[in-house]
Amino acid sequence: MLVPASDYSDLEIEGTLAALGPWWIELVKGLDSTPVTELAIDGVALLGGDLTRSEAERVIDRSLVLLQRAARALAESGQFGSGQGTVHGLFTSGGGVPKLPVDAVEVDGRGVVGDVQKTKKHHGRPWQALCLWSKEKVDLLQAEGHPISYGSAGENISITGIAWEDIRPGVRLQIGDVLAECSLYSLPCAKNRRWFADRDSMRMHHETELGISRMYASVLEPGHICAGDSVILEP
């Protein structure tokens, strides 16, 4: 279950509202009956204007539930496939990137215990508890000549053996003892430019290529993960 917005700090609420807006724009794009400037959740405008804390909490809680419910329905219809892979690597840091490899981690509802995000405005909210990425996608970027490595872009868990094109918002992954639900794609930021030969981190944006992006996930069941553990993409 997602951590309720009432447990968010003021900074987390601000960052989450900023992140939700673009996703709702994508969902309603092309629907003339729902102009994005008038989009509301339970009667509270999502875009623009000042929200009270209680209104913001309601928007966040309801929006995340609706976004994941829609994606989960697609997953259950079989559109995202299924499969099994392995934990290639685990990475943590005291703040910032790159994250450094460790052999094992404990995961709670907030993510990897002891892992720190330096910029809380854009990181560290419950739906960003884990950052997942594909070993094969990092290998692809390396083959293109980019100076990137595992953990460089801030991923906590590097996974191998699963078609990353099937890792979409709403799918669930059993990772060692941990059950995670993918929430939203992780958008590139300026701090990741150094990992690209042309300084263009948009190469790993999900709109650039299906399956190239890192993925955020919330934690449904906490537990222990070791390098080499199995990863199951739930059907």
Whose tokens are 């999900």? That residue is 206
Whether 214 contacts 204, CB under 8 Å: yes
Least confident of 10-24, 38-52, 126-140, 184-198: 38-52
Q: Is the pLDDT of residue 4 over 50?
A: yes
Tokens of 37: 């400037």
> Cα 81 to chain center, whole Å?
19
pLDDT of residue 102: 96
Q: For the purposes of burial, counting CB atoms within 10 Å of the CB of 47, is it exposed (0-12), middle (13-18) or buried (19 or more)?
A: middle
How far is the C-alpha of 210 from the C-alpha of 204, rounded, in Å? 10
What average pLDDT does the chain have? 81
Tens digit of each residue's pLDDT (9 = 90 or more) over 85-119: 999 999 998 777 799 999 999 999 889 998 876 55
Mean pLDDT, rounded, for 26-36: 50
- Helical (H) or strand (E) element with 66: helix 53-76
The model's pTM is 0.73
pLDDT of residue 94: 78
pLDDT of residue 51: 73
How far is the C-alpha of 216 from the C-alpha of 165, rounded, in Å? 14
Q: Is the pLDDT of residue 14 over 90?
A: no
How far is the C-alpha of 189 from the C-alpha of 166, rounded, in Å? 23
Give, in order, the Cα–Cα distances in Å from 161 to each of 82, 101, 154, 226: 11, 19, 20, 16
Q: Which carries the bigger pLDDT value, residue 185 or residue 235?
A: 185
Tens digit of each residue's pLDDT (9 = 90 or more) over 181-232: 998 888 887 788 998 999 888 899 888 888 899 999 999 999 999 999 999 9
Q: Is the pLDDT of residue 135 over 90?
A: yes
Tokens of 109: 């509802």
Helix axes 10-28, 53-76, angle to 10 degrees: 50
pLDDT of residue 222: 96
Mean pLDDT, rounded, for 118-142: 82
Whose tokens are 């994606």? That residue is 71
